[in-house]
Amino acid sequence: MPSKTSQRTLSTAEERRATVMRTAIDAFAARGYYGTTTTEVAKHAGISQAYLYRLFPDKEALFVAVVDHCAQRIRECLADGAARAESGDPQAVLASMAEAYARLIADRGLLMVVMQANCAASEPAIRDAVQALYARQVEYVRAASGAAEEQIQEFFARGFLCNAVVAMEAEGLDTPWARTLTLGLRHYPAE
């Protein structure tokens, strides 16, 4: 049986890890993988860089953990959307998941981490994390919706377009090109 001290230390380590993850999401979202330093993440998390390296062996491992965290949030979002679908019709399930995803990407931190991860996918470990993120999402959407391949591809194509529109804040622009790209897309303001 663990002692009270080891339980307290574990709790503190879990809290620190959660704080580091939140801080890292904000930092990587703002400046990307290449523009973010572990010194900056540690400082904003209120820990030493040495302690950060006890939690994550290097910046790449931290970034991969952040990508994995975002992948889990997306997966939970899609599951929530699927559960809220008005019927089991594949198009209804996809529409409900799309609605849930549109709400999720109002969290620009998560959205920008995914966008930054796509850009840093030339790094093998990050590429593997990005591939795993999309593999899990595609396979979940396939299983939850029962949709045809073309419907699933369209779902993700619209999702990528939504990501770009939200990332460049085009939904608020009153220009012909922005109206064209945002036509039929639903977006929500950051909460």
The per-residue pLDDT string of the chain (191 residues; one tens digit each, 9 = 90 and over) reads 555 554 545 457 788 888 999 999 999 999 999 999 999 999 999 999 999 999 999 999 999 999 999 999 999 999 999 999 999 999 999 999 999 999 999 888 999 999 999 999 999 999 999 999 999 999 999 999 999 999 999 999 999 999 999 999 998 899 999 999 999 888 777 65
Rounded Cα gap, residues 43 and 47, in angstroms: 6
Q: Record the tokens describing residue 140, joined without a space.
A: 């979940």
Report pLDDT for 7: 52
Instruction: Find all residues with CB under 8 Å of 140, minimum gap 6, and list them.
Output: 75, 78, 79
Question: What pTM did the predictor assign?
Answer: 0.88
Number of H helices, E strands in the chain: 9, 0
Using DSSP, state whether 46 is helix, strand or coil. coil
Rounded Cα gap, residues 112 and 98, in angstroms: 18
84: DSSP letter: T
Rounded Cα gap, residues 145 and 54, in angstroms: 41
Rounded Cα gap, residues 112 and 189, in angstroms: 15
**Tokens 């897309």 map to which residue?**
185
Rounded Cα gap, residues 128 and 78, in angstroms: 21
188: DSSP letter: -
- For each of the domains in the chain, give its residue range(s) and CATH number, in order of start: 58-182 (1.10.357)
161: DSSP letter: H
CB contact at 8 A, 182 and 166: no
Report pLDDT for 185: 87
Report pLDDT for 11: 56
**Average pLDDT, whole number, for the chain?**
91
